A and B are shown apart, each in its own frame.
Chain A
C-alpha cells in the first residue's frame, strides 16, 4: 500500500495505527471521548479478518482482549477515565500473567464521571499505580494525530516484546482534533511480534527467568499445554507460596522493564543546549508549551523544552542530564500537578520548580505559559 494523506482525528489515527501494527482483536465499551476508536475498529477489523466485540462493560473488555491475546492475537481496547478505573484489575492480571495487551485511555476530566466531553491529563498516576501491588508497565503519550498513529504501533511493539500491558495515554484534545497525517507504506513499518517457543512442549517453561527476563509465549492451542494464573506463580505457571519463587517472580516483572529502559524510553527536546529555563510538558499540552518556547526564544530568552513520550517508565536519566544545566523548571500539564512530582524526584539540585496547571476542562494556552514564566522572573 503506498503513502496515504488523510485528514483525521486522533482516535481514527489510533485505529489506523492498530491495524497497521497487526492488531486483530478489539473489545470495548462505548465511552466518550474514546468511542470513535471502537467504531473505527468495528469497521476495519472484519475487513482484515480480525474480530471486534462490544462487551457488556470495561472489565469484560479488558478480560476479552487478554483472552484473545492468550489465543495469539494482538489485542486492544480503548476507554476513558471511568472505564479505565474499571479495567484496573484486568491490567494487574495482564501484568502478573505477562500477557501483552494495549489499552488506550483517552483522558477526560475527572474524578468520577467528571467531564465527559472536556480534556484533561489527570490519569498520569492512575496509569502507573491504578492496579494494586508492585507492578511495572509502560505508558506512552502522543502529542499529535500523526504521533498517535506511530505510538499506537509502538505500543503494540513494546507489549509484544516485553509481554506487558501498554497504556496509550491520549487526551480528549488529541482524540478529537483533526490534523493532516501522511500514512506511510505499512510494509515499511517496524513491527514486533511476540517470541514463541522453539523448544518441544515438555521443555517449555512459560514463566522461565531468562537472562533478559523475557520468556517466549506460546498461544493456546499450539501444543504447549500450560497454566496461566493471576496467583503468584512459579516458572511453570502454577501457584506458589515459596518465598524464593515469589521474590523471583516479582523481580522478573520489575527487571524486564527496568533493564530495558534504554530501549523503551523515548522523549523529545528543543533548545536544551544553552537553556537556563526548562519547560516540561507532555501530550496535547506540549503543543502550547512548544509555541511558548518558540515565542520566548524569539525574544532572546534562553528557554528549552523537554517532553517525555514514554511517561512510564519515566525518562529519569535523560531528564537529569538536562536539569543539571538549567536554573528554573516549569511543568505544564492539564491537571493539578501529577508529572511534576516525578520531576521533583529526579531533580536533586534544589532548583526552582513551578507548575503551570489548568484543570477547568480547557487546555493550556501558550499565553498562560508565557505569562507564568514572565511572572516567575520578576
Chain B
C-alpha cells in the first residue's frame, strides 16, 4: 500500500495523537505545508521550522524537521537570528493571529520591513484557542469570545494589509477550505526570496464557532467557501458586494532586496579589503626581503 506523502515528514510514531480539536483547520494546513515543502525538494535536514505559543504553534512537535518551539509572540525574532546566522537554511515560521499580531506584532512588522527571507504561515482563527476562546486582534467588531461576551467593542486587524504596509515582498491569503490553492500559495511563498506571508483562515469550531453560533466545522468551511473571492475576480464585484467578503490568492508580490543577502555583501566587501591588505603586505615583505638579499650579496662575494 502506498503510504501517504505526509508520513515521510511526520514524527508519526512519537508525537501523535495531536492536540488539535476535532474539526480544527490546523491539521489541514499542516498537510498542505508538507505537500508544498515536498514540491520544493528541500533536504529534510536543512529545513528549520520555528513556532511560538498557541494551537497553531504546536505543529513544530509533529513534523520531522529542525524544530524550534519558542516563546509566545517571539518566533519571528528567533527565526530572524537563525536565518541571519545560517542563511542557507530555509526557515519557516508557523504562528497564529494572537501570537504574531498581538504579542508579537512588533517582530512581525519589523521582519516584514527588513524583508528577511522567512516564510510565515499564519493560521488566523480569530480567537485564542489554547487558553479557551478569548478575543484576538482579528476578532471582528461585535464578535464574541470568553472575554467579550456581549460583543467585541474593538476593531480587527487586516493581517495581510498590515504585512503589505510593513514591506513584505510576498503576501497571500487563503482558507482551510481552499486546499489546492493553499498548497500552491505556500509553495510560492517558499520560492519567494524575502519575507513571505501566507495568511490562512483556519476554523476553530470549539471556541470561535461556539461563541459566535457559527455551527460546526463543516458550516464554518462552507462560510469560507461562500465568502471567499479570488483576487483575479475582484473587478467583477461592486464595492457593495465586496463589503462582507474577503479576497483570497496572491494579494501582493513585489520582490526587493533581501536582508541576509544584503548583509553578506557587507561581509564580502570587508573580506575583499582584507585580502587586498594581505596581498599588499606580502608584496611589501617580499620586496624588502629582495632588497635585503641584494644588499647582502656583494658582502658575501668579498
Name A residues whose Cβ lies closer than 8 Å to a Cβ of B.
24-25, 27, 46-47, 49, 51, 53, 55-57, 59-60, 63-73, 75, 89-90, 93, 219-231, 236, 238-239
Contacts and interface: CB of A to CB of B under 8 A. Distances in A.
A229 B69 contact: yes
B163 interface: no
A230 B50 CA distance: 12
Contact of B82 (A56, A220, A239): A220
A60 B77 contact: yes
Given A51-B84, A227-B61, A220 B66 contact: yes
B85 A72 contact: yes
B138 to A, nearest CB: 21
B267 to A, nearest CB: 5
Contacts of A51: 84-85, 263, 267
A231 B53 CA distance: 10
Contact of B14 (A55, A69, A224, A236): A236
Contacts of A221: 45-46, 48, 66, 86, 88-89
Contacts of A231: 69
11 contacts: A46-B267, A51-B267, A63-B80, A64-B78, A67-B78, A67-B83, A68-B81, A71-B85, A75-B85, A220-B68, A223-B45
Given A220-B86, A226-B66, 12 more contacts: A27-B81, A46-B263, A46-B269, A51-B263, A55-B110, A64-B80, A67-B78, A72-B85, A90-B71, A220-B48, A221-B88, A223-B45
Contacts of B77: 55, 59-60, 63-64, 67
B257 to A, nearest CB: 16
Interface string B58-82: 0011001111111100100111111
B80 A67 contact: yes
Contacts of B67: 225-228
A72 B14 CA distance: 26
A203 B115 CA distance: 38
Given A230-B71, A236-B14, A220 B89 contact: yes
B110 A56 contact: yes
Interface string B263-282: 10011011100100000000
Contacts of B253: none
A160 to B, nearest CB: 15
A71 B80 CA distance: 11
A53 to B, nearest CB: 6
Contacts of A73: 85
A135 to B, nearest CB: 15
Interface in B106-162: 106-107, 110
B253 to A, nearest CB: 25
A219 B50 CA distance: 14
B211 to A, nearest CB: 27
Contacts of B78: 63-64, 66-67, 70
A53 B107 CA distance: 13
Q: Which 3 A-B pairs have CB atoms at the shortest separation, nearest pair first?
A: A67-B81, A64-B81, A63-B77
Interface in B33-53: 44-46, 48, 50
Nearest to B84: A51
Question: Is the contact region of chain A dominated by helix, strand, or loop, or is it mixed?
Answer: mixed
Nearest to A71: B85
B221 to A, nearest CB: 29
B212 interface: no
Contacts of A67: 50, 68, 77-83, 85
B107 A71 contact: no
B71 A89 contact: yes
Contacts of B69: 227-231, 239
Interface centre among B61, B70, B270 (most CB of A within 10 A): B70
B288 interface: no
A221 to B, nearest CB: 5
Contacts of B68: 67, 70, 220, 227-228
A67 B269 CA distance: 26
Nearest to A201: B45
A229 B107 CA distance: 19
A56 B86 contact: no
Interface centre among B68, B79, B263, B269 (most CB of A within 10 A): B68
Contact of A227 (B60, B85, B88, B110): B60
Contacts of A24: 85
B254 interface: no
Contacts of B271: 49
Given A220-B86, A221-B48, A222-B45, A60 B80 contact: yes
A56 B45 contact: no
B162 to A, nearest CB: 15
Contact of B274 (A25, A47, A70): A47
Contacts of A55: 77, 80, 110
A181 B71 CA distance: 40
Nearest to A25: B85
Interface centre among A25, A53, A66, A71 (most CB of B within 10 A): A71
Contacts of B82: 67-68, 70-71, 220
B15 interface: yes
A34 to B, nearest CB: 19
A248 to B, nearest CB: 19
Contacts of A224: 66
A65 B81 CA distance: 6
Contacts of B79: 67
B81 A56 contact: no
A133 B243 CA distance: 49
Nearest to B62: A227
Contacts of A222: 45
B14 A238 contact: yes
Interface centre among B60, B77, B85, B106 (most CB of A within 10 A): B85
A63 B45 contact: no
Nearest to B106: A56
